[in-house]
Amino acid sequence: MQIAVVLYDRFTMLDAVGPYEVLSRLPGAELTFAAAQPGAVRADTGRGALVADAALAELPAPDVVVVPGGPGQTALMDDEPLLSWLRAADAASTWTTSVCTGSLLLAAAGLLAGRRATTHWLALEQLAAFGAEPTAERVVVDGKHVTAAGVSAGIDMALALVDRIAGEQVAQAIQLGIEYDPQPPFAAGSPRSAPPETVAALRAASRFVLEG
């Protein structure tokens, strides 16, 4: 089973590495980080880079596609080479998935029209402009299209995917292998649970970023 994790300049690293850590442990999986060109791809913070071992063109028809999010997504919303690759890959894939604002790239490629989908909570309403149905859940499965909420949600998404691909026992073994027994120090990980002033501050900062 071939799995392609798409990298691009200014992606968010945990969006890509959460699913990688789960899916690379799937028996028979051959996971590849791929980008427009092979080589180091710098993350959004500027403080880290992941290596793309292949060009997207070398992987025209992976069984599973994973598209992470990140601030760099904005500049790619009309990037025809990437959108064409996504359309062709989706036509052949068993599962087409995203984390965070990666779903906006799937949406821009026309792959989420009429489907329930999610993304980072700050970007959720943007999905509607592409005919998708914004759905405030952590992992949204609509047929073979699986979208996850912000950043860390890719771990939950990938485990749910392993459950569907290889069954509960394999998913549980991988979950135990990565000791995924989360104990967040605060109930602050969702706009529904975080202190309202924290939610408001992030909304304001995000508006500032979006409006330059």
Active centre residues (catalytic): 100
Q: What is the Cα–Cα distance from 11 to 154, expressed in whole angstroms?
A: 14
CB of 207 to a copy of itself, least distance (A): 14
Pick from 52, 28, 67, 60: nearest CA to 162:
28
Instruction: Report which DSSP code applies to 113.
Output: T
49 lines the binding site for a copy of itself (CB under 8 A): yes
- Footprint of a copy of itself on 90-129 (CB under 8 A): 100, 120-121
Contacts made by residues 173-177, CB under 8 angstroms, sequence distance 24+: 174/22, 174/25, 174/26, 177/25
CB nearer to a copy of itself: pick between 58 and 110: 58
Q: Which of 182, 196, 211, 212 binds a copy of itself (CB under 8 A)?
A: 182
153 lines the binding site for a copy of itself (CB under 8 A): yes
CB of 121 to a copy of itself, least distance (A): 6
CB of 90 to a copy of itself, least distance (A): 22
CB nearer to a copy of itself: pick between 98 and 175: 175
Q: 28: burial class by Cβ within 10 Å (0-12, 13-18, 19+)?
A: exposed
CB nearer to a copy of itself: pick between 45 and 84: 45
Extract the runs of DSSP E, i.e. beta strands, from the chain: 2-6, 30-35, 39-42, 49-52, 54-55, 64-67, 95-99, 116-117, 133-134, 139-142, 145-148
Residues that bind a copy of itself (CB under 8 A): 12-14, 17-18, 20-21, 24-25, 30-33, 40, 45, 47-51, 53, 100, 120-121, 138-139, 149-153, 155-156, 159-160, 163, 168-169, 171-173, 175-186, 188-191, 193-195, 198-199, 201-202
